[in-house]
Structure 1
Amino acid sequence: MKTLIRTILLLPCVFLSSVAEERGCSSPPDSPEFRLMSYTPEKALYKCAEGYDPYGGSPVILCSSGRWGNLTLQCRKKLCGNAGELLNGYFTYEGESVLGDKAYAVCEDGYTLKGPEAIECGITGWSTELPTCEEGTVTCSAPKVANSESKDFAHEHKAGDAVTVRCSQGFQIKGKAQITCGSDGQWQPNPPQCVPTPEKSGRCGVPENTEGTNARLATKYRAEKSYPPGARVYYMCDVGYVSRGSKYRRCIKGQWTPLELKCRRKLCGSAGELLNGHYDYSGVEFGDMAKAVCDEGYQLVGQATRNCLSRGWDGHPPVCEVLSCDDPPEVTNAEISGYAQAPYEYRTVVTYRCLVGSLVGSSSMWCTENGTWSSSPPQCKDVTCEPPIIPNASWVRSRNGRYQYRDSIYVQCVPGYTIVGQSAITCGQDEKWSPELPKCRSTAGFRNRFQRG
């Protein structure tokens, strides 16, 4: 009897379990990052949404006991990478160059931006309309803001000039008070508005951007005209700056609490080790520059200047390659001794030795820091001088026949004669004796003239 009762009690449980197993799942879950491709009561197939790339996990989930399993497919925003080179300028990047991020064009001094100031990383990559930097300067006309005090505005402003918009009494600023004349001749950001000041009901007006802090109000809060008591807004640091401190402000008794957010320039640190050279830094924070300088005898290969941007130092590290000279010129009837094999690097010395004739010129030359040889090569010439004809004289190192280049002799006068001029003479490369041949003057004749005088 007890067995029968247990059997009767178990039958509903078995029936319910069987129903649960046979029951299928409802529609599969959806997500902005995924796209449902197809599904059956047993399984569903997903793929990454447009603008996202897969990087792991399974795209399939299974239905079990009326519930869908967890989707392990991992999708990340499409990566656009580098926006390319901007001639006479460069790009600064917002974020990691993924879908939705922007790259801002910055032109060098003396060049004007033509085209969009910012390009966006989209589904197909960076925007096709790329800006250019053209030579010349631009100006912005005085900003026109209704209900503002514009008496301090000049008729024209140069690119880079900043002005601060102040609203008339009874009006408050909506937008950024300080605007800058951009390189495209437009104010950046767009000039603000002067809207009526809200009644004193505890509500707060549009919170202003605090000047000189490099912090800006998040975009989502700029559309509102006023905020109720207790409302909270937050600020973001500009591109290239990192935040520290609270980014929030609250509306309390009709006034916004002070902004405690501090934005400091991003630190790039060292631009890297430069073998056989060094970097000259203007600083190592966002906006600073590092210039590569090679040691004496080395030449720079690559871009000399690197800029500290929001994502670190731009470009690639250059290298300092040792300077070298062309092969030394060949000289007829001479051979090169010493270091006589390429490459002939900076400070390499080569020496010539004549096989025939005499060496005229410097026997050695070296590779200079300019990649040129220190002098012209010598020559091997058959340079000789005739024996000198000096009456009443003899000389040391006399020989029969001609004298070779650089041979020296020492002239002596015979007794009763005195030498006039240099006693040592040398055979020069022009086959003449140098200095001028001396003379032997009679001592007796000189003495008689002296006595008569």
Structure 2
Amino acid sequence: MFPSNISASCFCALHIIFLALITSSNGDCGPPPRLIYAELLASFQGIADFPVGTSVSYNCRLGYQRIGGASNTTCLPDSTWPEPTVFCELRSCSSLSDIPNGQVHIESLTFGSEVNYTCNEGYRFITKIRTRTCQADGTWSGTDPVCEIVTCVPPDAITDGSYDPEKDEYAYQNSVTYKCKTGLTLVGENSIFCTAQGNWSSPAPQCKAVRCSEPDVPNSHKLSGFRGPYNLNSAVTFACDEGFSMKGSSSVTCGINSTWEPELPKCLIECLTPNVENAEILSELTGLYLLNATVSFECSKGFVLQGSNTVKCSINGQWEPPLPKCQTVACPNPQVPNAHEVSGFTGPYTLNSTLTFACEPGYSMSGSNYVKCNVGSKWEPPLPKCLTVACPNPQVPNAHEVSGFTGPYTLNSTLTFACEPGYSMSGSNYVKCNVGSKWEPPLPKCLS
């Protein structure tokens, strides 16, 4: 036994020195592994080297608890520390229940976790702290927050009216009902309630005297609502006199602002349906075409518009200017000498008819090989031309012909050259007459 006045730490130090004297020459271990869930005993902290065979122990960190297994590790002969099997786990707190008029929201019950609380709709917190945290000892911080019902102040009073019931304070979803004095009309919601936000669902209504003026629609007669007074929701129905057409609703009602809703109709002059053969009406109007109504037209495929494409219904019930006409488009027969047809050569040639040409052998095309009949009865672009192709006589000094040297040299004529002995060729020995009346590639040269 050691003397009682020798501390445990001194004993550990002596034990380490003793182990150092008897260990092999393999060397010491460095500091033991650092564990996220545990820490070394104080007696082993701050030491840089540990002899082989030294055993150190750990304690669980704050917020962790033992789950069994060895809580120590020993310096091995190869100067390494084996990491111990996990022997601590996060401490857990007990589950929490919902609070009166609210809920608790839990994601985890382990040390350090935080739970949040919310109040039900129509309730609000009366405590400042609305969260709790799982502590190191397995208990929750603080206490449950408190939710109380939302209240509203009394609603606004109204002129010439009242509401019921009257109280000093109204709780969430409490309601009041308004009414006006006799002869007045309530404008707005007659019943409103206290909302979850602590305000009223709608503004306070008003009490109004509603009276609409005599409904006068020229060129019409009434079918109902012959006599006033016209108060709120009074209705009148109209019909236009013969020769006039109605624009607007035939029935109107006296509204809350002492105006007719919708606005009073009009009885107007109507033009006949505009029919233009081989044309389509582009306007959105259908059925009735009243005074000042406008209509636009577009001719069908193969036709061209003669006249104005837009007309208007005039005061005399006629379309002005007069309705247009859609006439057939016809282009002339295509004549392109030294060309042959490829497609589209069956007449007659109407709007958007298309033609494709190709020149005869030995001819080159000037212009577009594709034309179209336009609204002016002309081919667009203009018809092409097929021109003779003639390349110049080939002059290559110090060369002799191999093949193709019988002129004239027309489109696609080919020549083959060979240089005289003692000369070498620069360029291609084979050339061809192209559509530009040029040899392609350029004539070669025979260089000494």
Task: Give TM-score, length-normalised by structure 1.
Answer: 0.45
Structure that is richer in strand per residue: 1
Task: Give TM-score, length-normalised by structure 2.
Answer: 0.46
